């Protein structure tokens, strides 16, 4: 494939050699935007998959219950922040292990969020619960809560979510500090979301939601173990829930 004209400098003009660093800087500044566009594409693919999986060839299916709907609404929001943090890390890190992990989380969770939003559209349900989060988790008495405090009714903040101040700190960090803060925030994010995922895996009515939640449990447990080891290798400790 031939190079783009804009990428080939005109050697007959000596001023072009001075412009090259500025062009390179422009390309670097476009990287976060390209990552966002890539994440949007993954969400759209997941959205289409959600429609197809949720209604395979028009066959009859189990009607979604409160857990199916509530989990899809809340975990879409939870995933959106993970995608946001992963995009920051992917754009800013130079560590190959952090880059690989952030890429995996970004693409996986963007796709999953798209699937859940596709189901909500198929079910004619709002994308965000109007009365708060986790109100669908009504039976916490026998559920393993992975360190998450029991609650009664909807809450305004889901466990593991980063605060605006923490997100600002992540965006302003660089080098090893960026890597460590990303690992700490994402590990806590996974730990906070796991009880919600486990609950849906056990109690959702539809096969599609139970299957997705079960795969999330496996993936996020593995990633949490990896991030714990990566933090230990950097001499850092996990954040408390």
Ordered per-residue pLDDT tens for the chain, 241 residues = 433 333 333 434 444 444 444 554 444 445 555 555 554 554 455 445 444 554 543 444 689 999 999 999 999 999 999 999 999 999 999 999 999 999 999 999 999 999 999 999 999 999 999 999 999 999 865 444 444 445 568 999 999 999 999 999 999 999 999 999 999 999 999 999 999 999 999 999 999 999 999 999 999 999 999 999 999 999 999 999 9
Q: What is the pLDDT of residue 139?
A: 83
In degrees rounded to 5, what are phi and psi of residue 86? -65, -35
Exposure on the CB side of residue 75, measured as CA atoms within 13 A: 34
State the Cα–Cα distance between residues 30 and 79, nearest whole angstrom: 24
Tokens 């690989």 -> residue:
100
Exposure on the CB side of residue 18, measured as CA atoms within 13 A: 3
Cα 64 to chain centroid, rounded:
23
CB-count burial class (<10 Å; 0-12, 13-18, 19+) for 132: middle
**Number of Cβ within a 10 Å radius of residue 202:** 16
Q: What is the pLDDT of residue 62?
A: 81
pTM over 0.75: yes
Q: Are 217 and 201 in contact (CB under 8 A)?
A: yes
Residue 85, SS3 per DSSP: helix
């Amino acid at each position: 494939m031939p190079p783009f004209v804009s990428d080939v400098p005109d050697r007959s003009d000596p001023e072009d050699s001075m412009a090259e660093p500025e062009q390179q800087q422009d390309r670097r500044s476009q990287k976060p935007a390209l990552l966002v566009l890539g994440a949007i594409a993954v969400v759209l693919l997941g959205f289409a998959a959600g429609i197809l999986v949720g209604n395979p060839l028009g066959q009859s299916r189990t009607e979604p219950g409160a857990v199916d709907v509530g989990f899809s609404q809340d975990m879409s929001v939870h995933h959106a922040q993970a995608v946001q943090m992963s995009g920051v890390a992917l754009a800013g890190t130079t560590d190959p292990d952090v880059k690989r992990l952030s890429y995996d989380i970004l693409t996986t969770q963007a796709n999953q969020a798209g699937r859940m939003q596709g189901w909500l559209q198929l079910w004619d349900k709002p994308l965000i619960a109007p009365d708060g989060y986790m109100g669908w988790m009504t039976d916490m008495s026998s559920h393993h809560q992975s360190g998450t405090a029991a609650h009664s009714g909807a809450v305004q903040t889901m466990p593991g979510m980063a605060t605006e101040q923490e997100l600002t700190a992540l965006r302003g960090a660089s080098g090893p500090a960026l890597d460590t803060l990303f690992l700490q925030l994402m590990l806590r994010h996974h730990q906070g979301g796991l009880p919600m995922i486990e609950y849906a895996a056990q109690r959702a009515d539809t096969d599609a939601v139970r299957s997705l939640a079960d795969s999330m449990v496996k993936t996020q447990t593995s990633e949490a173990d990896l991030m714990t080891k990566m933090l230990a290798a950097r001499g850092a400790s996990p954040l408390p829930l």
